[in-house]
Amino acid sequence: MNQIVIVGTSHHIAPLDFRERLSFSENQLIEAFQLLRKHPDVQEVAILSTCNRVEIYAVTRSKDGCAALSNFLSNYHQIESQQLDKFTYSHQNLDAVRHLFNVTASLDSMVVGEPQILGQVKEAYAQSLAAGATGDILNRLFTKALSVGKRVRTETNIAAGAVSISYAAVELAKKIFQSLEDKTVAIVGAGEMSELTAQHLVKNNVSKVIVANRTYQRAVDIAKRFNGTPLAYDADLSFLVEADIVISSTDAPHYLIDRPSLAEIMKQRKHRYMFLIDIAVPRDIDPEVSKVDNAFLYNIDDLEMVVASNLKDRGQEAEIATQIVKEEVAKFHSRLQILEVNPIIKALHQQFQGVASKELGTCLDKAQLTPKQQKMVEAMTQSIIKKLLHQPTAHLRQTVNDANNDHAQYVHALYEMFGLEQAKDLDTENTD
């Protein structure tokens, strides 16, 4: 039987430096899909790589699927298996479904109720789908997971008062400076996180916003929304001289701000305080920057302190969301189990139809029947087939829905008893 498996890591168990090592760039994702699909045990795969989590979802042919994914991560990222095991988790089948639903419901996020994760999962699924890495099972799983996430947001107030990582970054800045009204903020990068950060900064009356991005037009697009100043990113960092707060969130594969460069900037600033928040994974700012006098560097894990105070207010809504996830997991698991037995039900009907058609053809060739009589015999034959298969089909479906029964043994026995070939394609029945 097919197995749904997950191997991954998140902010719950792994430090930032480990999550950085395990993350996938866009180019690496394509390569990873190709390598994983070549594995004899992996049928389908999807990868979710964000600042807080890296997870590989797969459909495998054996129960050793988790080991296959762990070995891949170890080899691809050159991480010793002992360290990988320390900072990763794995889930199979029902637990895997539950985990993804919790993720899309934002119940597993650093900020419970944060809205970004649903879009991140949607984008990760779209990338996997475009690469031809997913199949029928993962397509169903991710489609339902996204639906669950939307249902949680519609039926609960879990997002009310929720803070995003970017909001938490601004709150931390306010604790350092008390007021942001006379402060200049430089945002490095012009992605979604940067735009959200700019929104929160403007609400807190910052005096000036600088948006620096490698693609100048993108910086212009973001800056105009907040009456900010767009700049083309310059490696000499001269644009940081007037910045009191620096918030960096790019997908650069290397540090954009290092200790020597910032030390020179601080001299030009006459060592006025600078507050830097690095919300990128991999990090944009060298941790050594924290050793520069009057430079205060925080990364995404540091923001957990700011976020913690918001969790209590959403506890009750999280309980409601958990019940929704529980209900949806049970429904999806039931549908998935039924899908697994559809091939044998189809094979049984095909075999019975084949025998009946052959025998009926021989009979009709010999008998002198009127067209009306022929139709009556054909109808009677179909009725016999349905009655013969009704009990085993009903029992099979009942076995699937009974968690205490091992339906895999029952299915195997039917294949053996009737000499059926294992069908590979799932029925296309809707899982809603």
Q: Among all residues, which ones are annotated catalytic?
A: 51
Query: Of 10, 23, 72, which Cα lies nearest the Cα of 49?
Result: 23
- Local structure of residue 285 (DSSP, 8 states): B
Q: Which residues contact 193 (CB under 8 A, 6 or more apart)?
A: 116, 165, 166, 249, 279
> CA-CA distance, 403 to 330, in Å (whole number)?
11
Alpha carbons 397 and 390: distance in angstroms, whole number = 11
Query: From CA 364, how far away is CA 378, in angstroms rounded?
Result: 10
Give the whole-angstrom CA distance, residue 67 versus residue 361.
Answer: 53
Cα gap 213→219, rounded to integer Å: 5
- The two tokens of residue 407 are 């339906």
Question: Cα separation of 265 and 267, whole Å?
Answer: 5
Question: DSSP secondary-structure letter at 108?
Answer: S
Cα–Cα nearest to 378, from 356, 394, 362 = 356
* Phi, psi for residue 168 in degrees, rounded to 5: -60, -35
Q: Are 162 and 253 in contact (CB under 8 A)?
A: no
Longest dimension (CA), the chain: 109
In 249-407, where do the E strands start and end?
274-278, 295-299
Rounded to a whole number of angstroms, the CA Rg of the chain reads 29
Paired tokens of 431 = 């899982």
Give the separation between CA 231 and CA 219, rounded to whole angstroms.
Answer: 7
Where would I find the beta strands (DSSP E) of 22-69? 42-49, 53-60
